[in-house]
Amino acid sequence: MQKVTLKTVVFMGSARNVVPPWGGDARLGDRVLKHVLSLLRTRDESYGQEQVNHEVTVFDPVEVFGAGGALEGDGHLSTPHFFLKQATQPKMDDMAATIKAADGYVVVTAEYNHSLPPALTSLMGHFGGSNYKCKPSCIVTYSPGPWAGMRAAMAARPFLAELGCIPVSKLTGFPAPADLLGEDGTPKDPDARMLKQLPAMLGELEWMALAMKKMRDSAGLPK
């Protein structure tokens, strides 16, 4: 059995930092993100003769756009990395290199106004499609209501496809995450039906990532 470690980048979509009028978490997605990361870091799945695990990097807009972050102060996407041919910043270059070296992407996002949060589109849009192409992605959405942010998932599909990281078919949605997950991301009821989507979706991501990695390694990227 050959061990394969997939380089997996997780993009957090929400930068919210205020408790909503109805109460609850300042950023509900923290529970979801912690759950996703816990599962990713413990994956050890076999596909034919290959045993797959993950080397995970998280890009969170709170950190990336915050003080000292790779894209500090530029959540408005005023200066995309791929526009800077000469005077790029080391932290920005490092972020671009991590994205380009990845084998796959996981997007964890809320639904803002029935669409994607601007923090997510800015976070990913700073970097040109050549960094993402010929790799798979998958989508995790959440909302305090019963629909789990699925309209954001539908908006994410064409966005990710145009970047070049084609989303896998399966989706994961977490309705009312505070009812499903503790603050540390641990399931309150491990048998809850909605928790079963994520492992199945990650299986599709891993299968696609392996297949596309083999093509990139053997044939290179298409021109």
Answer yes or no: is pLDDT of 207 > 70.
yes
What is residue 223's predicted lDDT score, i.e. its pLDDT? Answer: 64
Residues 6+ apart with CB under 8 A from 40: 8, 10, 54, 56, 106, 202
Residues 6+ apart with CB under 8 A from 46: 1, 52
For residue 216, name the pLDDT band (cuts at 50, 70, 90).
Answer: very high
What is residue 86's predicted lDDT score, i.e. its pLDDT? Answer: 63
Answer yes or no: is pLDDT of 87 > 90.
no
CATH of residue 119's domain is: 3.40.50.360
Cβ atoms of residues 128 and 82 within 8 Å = yes
What is residue 55's predicted lDDT score, i.e. its pLDDT? Answer: 98
What is residue 183's predicted lDDT score, i.e. its pLDDT? Answer: 96
* Each residue's pLDDT tens digit, 166-193: 999 999 999 999 999 999 999 999 999 9
Q: Give a three-class secondary structure readout of the chain.
A: CEEEEEEEEEEECCCCCCCCCCCCCCCCHHHHHHHHHHHHHHCCEEECCEEEEEEEEEECHHHHCCCCCCCCCCCCCCCCHHHCCCCCCHHHHHHHHHHHHCCEEEEEEECECCECCHHHHHHHHCCCHHHCCCEEEEEEEEECCCCCCHHHHHHHHHHHHHHCEEECCCCEEEECHHHHECCCCCECCCCCHHHHHHHHHHHHHHHHHHHHHHHHHHHCCCC
How many domains, in total, are found in the chain? 1
CA distance 134 to 78: 27
* Each residue's pLDDT tens digit, 114-166: 999 999 999 999 999 999 999 999 999 999 989 999 999 999 999 999 999 99
* Each residue's pLDDT tens digit, 37-79: 999 999 999 999 999 999 999 999 999 999 999 999 999 999 8
Could you list the residue range(s) of the whole structural domain that residue 202 is in?
Answer: 2-219
* Each residue's pLDDT tens digit, 28-47: 999 999 999 999 999 999 99
